[in-house]
């Protein structure tokens, strides 16, 4: 494929140069006035040189890296983050390993690094190396954006403590997986950065249920997980039938795939090396249940059964393992088929949230289909902070409406770690190979109010949330400001849940970019003579809904665009006439008069224009998010190319599957897929006009 092929096919009118690596090397850490000067001045050392020149502190780690056959890589060009445990950290590590029951029973002890087997050295070495750059100043609490060489994500948190040198001041404490503290940070070297830590990181090979079973604070939920058989659904990890393409392969970051240029000279495409099955569990503690007078599994059944019979038609006589059983419904609604750390529920990078989000108008939110069949979960990130499940409402300037439903709060990583550190047998918060679990502060249940009120909203679903594979592969959520962020991730036919495509279709998930003319910078790029079908998330209640498709129009001669003409389908039936993705507001077919709507126009004129567009099956873009291009012009006002196409208005049922198909009618082309909207009639034709957010 020639580089030119993809130029201009994207919904990007300007891609800003991102010189992140150079910027990072010059940046200082947070709160430097109260943190000792612990930055290493770059002198041309590699990671290997840095450690060798301080062998008195890192001899054990050097031994491990050499035995794991990765020492040579630490001498070579690249972008590495090395979390380097000190010799004191290894001394504590040997004692911990010797005290493990499995080692005690085997009579095995550890007194020095030479007692570690080759396999143990591999695990330690690969756990502490990431093939991407991470500086503390640029991180937010949650999982690091890229996995280590073990393909595991490390959880990063910050805390505060009294400064030992001056107790009147507070210093920032940086931790990994809640147990290891970064004691010297952001030491820049020739091929990356070294972060010195005080404890060896120890991942396990346990699945999510195994890790949860160690937690004595969630015994009742674990009992329900076993009783319903849902525990079996959480034990799978890798698809043995998946084979990543091996021809023309490259290594980029921690991924291996096919070299594929998408038209932007620095833009490379890869396929995931493996296909993973991963999960997220939201869990009530026993103390939370007890506060509701729930102490046993029978108490829990009595509490949830009448609620779920009313809201979901649960069958109280069905066995616990039946999907219609109330306990089964309750447990499975707590589970998502994708691994989501705290900072991954919603878009959280400051380059999208700070200065580009009209946070007074909306919560940043997304919708996830849970493992309770045909149910939806709304996860919100409000301006006030935190993450909430099934929260409704945000401050709105026009009508002063506040929060209508508080929702269930998800504990943040620092709270999670404090709670999980109270028992010594608990593995690291992120140690499960196939998932993560989060504590929540109230009982989570898909009740009638949630279905009929909380989710009676404009459901705007980001395209990259529509398949668990987009998330579990690490494709979703990378920002272009990451030093290793500028690559697309491709998906092979048959290995992407909720997606069916033809042989001629190429499906790529792009990195986020705040210069892109798409909502919050997310985009899926569908290429070739494409014909692709997406399974839509379920609606909460039966009724009439508008299905809308957001996109950026682009004329044929604009950046060599070949947007082309497409036909939309719902469950096999064509939705209206074909849609030309090249025409924008300047075309009378869209607006009626070919005039672009401007923010300064008379309000009555704007309303008339919106009605005229709606009658033609079009809507303006959203005005809740701006792009960097043009100094932050939002996607509604002043953007003639940003449109929402009303695909169809139809009656939807909550227990029925719906499939949205996009078929290209013209020659080889590109479809920029950003998000869809499922909007109930109470919103699009309600007494109060729908807002533009």
Q: What integer is the mean pLDDT of 592-602?
A: 84
The pLDDT of residue 102 is above 70: yes
Buried b (16+ CB within 10 A) or exposed e, 122-157: bbbbbbbbbbbbbbbebbebbbbbbbbbbebbbbbb
The larger pLDDT score, comparing residue 23 to residue 233, is at: 233
Kindly report the average pLDDT of the chain as a whole number: 83
- Would you place residue 649 in the very low, low, confident or very high pLDDT band (cuts 50, 70, 90)? very high
**By mean pLDDT, which of 319-328, 489-498, 626-635 is the weakest?**
626-635
pLDDT of residue 138: 79
Q: What integer is the mean pLDDT of 76-93?
A: 93
The pLDDT of residue 9 is above 50: no
- Would you place residue 690 in the very low, low, confident or very high pLDDT band (cuts 50, 70, 90)? confident
The larger pLDDT score, comparing residue 670 to residue 193, is at: 193
- Would you place residue 373 in the very low, low, confident or very high pLDDT band (cuts 50, 70, 90)? very high
The pLDDT of residue 251 is above 70: no
- Would you place residue 354 in the very low, low, confident or very high pLDDT band (cuts 50, 70, 90)? confident
- DSSP assignment of 541-581 equals SSEEEEEEEEEE---TTSTT----EEEEEETTEE-SS-EET
The pLDDT of residue 219 is above 50: yes
- Would you place residue 16 in the very low, low, confident or very high pLDDT band (cuts 50, 70, 90)? very low
Cα separation, 273 vs 258, in Å, equals 10
Cα separation, 414 vs 558, in Å, equals 48
The pLDDT of residue 427 is above 60: no
pLDDT of residue 422: 62
* Nearest Cα to Cα of residue 197 among 218, 178, 215: 178
- Would you place residue 35 in the very low, low, confident or very high pLDDT band (cuts 50, 70, 90)? very low
In 631-668, beta strands by DSSP E? 642-652, 659-664
- Would you place residue 164 in the very low, low, confident or very high pLDDT band (cuts 50, 70, 90)? low
pLDDT of residue 173: 81
pLDDT of residue 24: 33
The domain over range 31-197 is classified in CATH as 2.30.180.10: yes
Q: What is the distance of C-alpha 560 from the center of its chain?
A: 32
Highest mean pLDDT among 126-140, 164-178, 481-495: 126-140
Q: What are phi and psi of 566, to 5 degrees?
A: -125, 160
pLDDT of residue 314: 96
What class has domain 1-20+465-693? mainly beta
C-alpha distances out from residue 222 to 146, 374, 411, 415, 428, Å = 30, 23, 19, 20, 18
| CATH 2.30.180.10 location in the chain | 31-197, 204-239+275-455
In 351-482, beta strands by DSSP E? 364-369, 376-381, 387-389, 408-410, 435-439, 459-462
pLDDT of residue 255: 43
Rg, C-alpha atoms of the chain: 26
**By mean pLDDT, which of 80-84, 434-438, 522-526 is the weakest?**
522-526
The pLDDT of residue 33 is above 80: no
Cβ-count burial of 488 within 10 angstroms (0-12 exposed, 13-18 middle, 19+ buried)?
A: buried
| CATH 2.60.120.260 location in the chain | 1-20+465-693
The pLDDT of residue 482 is above 80: no
The pLDDT of residue 352 is above 70: yes
Query: Residues 6 or more apart from 59 whose CB is under 8 A from it?
Result: 87, 113
pLDDT of residue 22: 35
pLDDT of residue 595: 85
pLDDT of residue 256: 44
pLDDT of residue 571: 97
**Contact in structure between 254 and 323 (CB atoms under 8 Å):** no
The larger pLDDT score, comparing residue 546 to residue 30, is at: 546
Q: What is the distance of C-alpha 513 from the center of its chain?
A: 15
- Would you place residue 403 in the very low, low, confident or very high pLDDT band (cuts 50, 70, 90)? low
Cα separation, 290 vs 628, in Å, equals 49
**By mean pLDDT, which of 130-134, 140-144, 385-389 is the weakest?**
140-144
- Would you place residue 460 in the very low, low, confident or very high pLDDT band (cuts 50, 70, 90)? very high
Beta bridge partners of 366: 379
- Would you place residue 165 in the very low, low, confident or very high pLDDT band (cuts 50, 70, 90)? low
CATH number belonging to the domain at 204-239+275-455, selected among 3.40.1440.10, 3.30.420.40, 1.10.510.10, 2.30.180.10? 2.30.180.10
Six token digits for residue 132? 């991407």
Q: Which helix (H) or strand (E) holds 449?
A: helix 448-449
To the nearest whole percent, how much of the chain has pLDDT over 90?
Answer: 51
Angle between helices 55-67 and 87-99 (to 10 degrees): 60
**By mean pLDDT, which of 88-102, 542-556, 559-573 is the weakest?**
559-573
pLDDT of residue 290: 97
The pLDDT of residue 400 is above 60: no
């Amino acid at each position: 494929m020639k580089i030119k092929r993809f130029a201009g096919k994207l919904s990007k009118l300007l891609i800003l140069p991102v010189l992140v690596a150079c910027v990072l090397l010059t940046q200082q850490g947070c709160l430097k006035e109260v943190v000792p000067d612990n930055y290493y001045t770059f002198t041309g050392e590699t990671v290997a040189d840095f450690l060798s020149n301080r062998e008195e502190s890192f001899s054990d780690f050097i031994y491990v890296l050499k035995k794991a056959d990765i020492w040579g890589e630490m001498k070579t060009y690249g972008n590495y983050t090395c979390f380097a445990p000190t010799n004191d950290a290894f001394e504590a590590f040997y004692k911990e390993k010797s005290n493990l029951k499995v080692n005690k029973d085997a009579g095995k002890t550890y007194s020095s690094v030479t007692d570690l087997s080759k396999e143990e050295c591999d695990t330690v070495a690969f756990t502490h190396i990431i093939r991407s750059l991470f500086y503390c100043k640029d991180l937010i609490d949650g999982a690091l954006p890229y996995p280590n060489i073990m393909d595991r994500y490390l959880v990063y948190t910050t805390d505060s403590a009294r400064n030992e040198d001056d107790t009147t001041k507070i210093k920032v404490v940086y931790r990994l997986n809640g147990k290891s503290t970064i004691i010297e940070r952001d030491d820049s070297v020739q091929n990356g950065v070294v972060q010195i830590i005080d404890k060896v990181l120890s991942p396990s090979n346990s699945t999510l249920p195994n890790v949860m079973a160690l937690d004595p604070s969630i015994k009742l939920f674990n009992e329900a997980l076993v009783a319903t058989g849902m525990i079996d659904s959480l034990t799978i990890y890798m698809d043995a039938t998946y084979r990543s393409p091996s021809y023309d392969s490259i290594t980029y970051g921690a991924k291996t795939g096919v070299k594929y240029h998408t038209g932007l000279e620095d833009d490379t495409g890869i396929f995931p090396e493996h296909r993973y099955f991963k999960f997220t569990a939201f869990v009530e503690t026993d103390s939370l249940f007890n506060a509701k007078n729930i102490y046993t599994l029978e108490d829990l059944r009595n509490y949830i059964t009448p609620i779920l019979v009313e809201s979901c038609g649960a069958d109280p006589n069905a066995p616990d393992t039946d999907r219609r059983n109330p306990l089964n419904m309750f447990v499975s609604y707590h589970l998502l088929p994708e691994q989501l750390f705290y900072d991954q529920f919603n878009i959280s990078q400051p380059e999208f949230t700070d200065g580009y989000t009209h946070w007074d108008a909306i919560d940043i939110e997304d919708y996830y289909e849970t493992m309770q069949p045909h149910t939806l979960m709304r996860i919100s990130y409000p301006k006030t902070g935190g993450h909430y499940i099934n929260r409704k409402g945000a401050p709105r300037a026009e009508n002063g409406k506040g929060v209508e439903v508080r929702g269930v709060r998800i504990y943040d990583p620092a709270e999670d770690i404090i709670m999980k550190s109270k028992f010594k047998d608990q593995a690291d918060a992120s140690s499960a190979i196939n998932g993560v679990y989060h504590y929540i502060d109230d009982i989570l249940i898909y009740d009638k109010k949630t279905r009929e009120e909380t989710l009676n909203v404009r459901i705007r679903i980001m395209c990259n949330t529509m398949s668990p594979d987009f998330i579990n592969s690490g494709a979703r959520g990378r920002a272009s400001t990451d030093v290793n962020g500028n690559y697309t991730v491709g998906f092979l036919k048959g290995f992407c849940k909720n997606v069916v495509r033809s042989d001629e279709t190429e499906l790529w998930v792009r990195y986020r970019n705040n210069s892109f003319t798409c909502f919050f910078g997310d985009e899926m790029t569908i290429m070739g003579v494409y014909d692709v079908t997406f399974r839509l998330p379920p609606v909460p209640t039966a009724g009439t809904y508008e299905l809308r498709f957001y996109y950026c129009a682009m004329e044929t001669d604009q950046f060599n665009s070949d947007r082309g003409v497409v036909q939309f389908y719902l469950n096999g039936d064509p939705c209206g006439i074909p849609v030309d993705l090249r025409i924008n507001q300047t075309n009378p077919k869209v607006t009626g008069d070919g005039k672009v709507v401007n923010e300064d126009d008379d309000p009555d004129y704007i309303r008339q224009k919106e009605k005229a567009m709606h009658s033609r099956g079009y809507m303006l873009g959203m005005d809740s998010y701006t792009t960097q291009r043009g100094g932050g012009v939002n996607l509604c006002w002043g953007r003639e190319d940003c449109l929402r196409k009303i695909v169809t208005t139809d009656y939807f049922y909550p227990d029925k599957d719906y499939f949205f198909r996009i078929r290209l009618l013209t020659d080889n082309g590109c479809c920029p897929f950003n998000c869809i909207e499922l909007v109930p009639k109470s919103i699009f034709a309600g007494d109060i006009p729908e807002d533009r957010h």
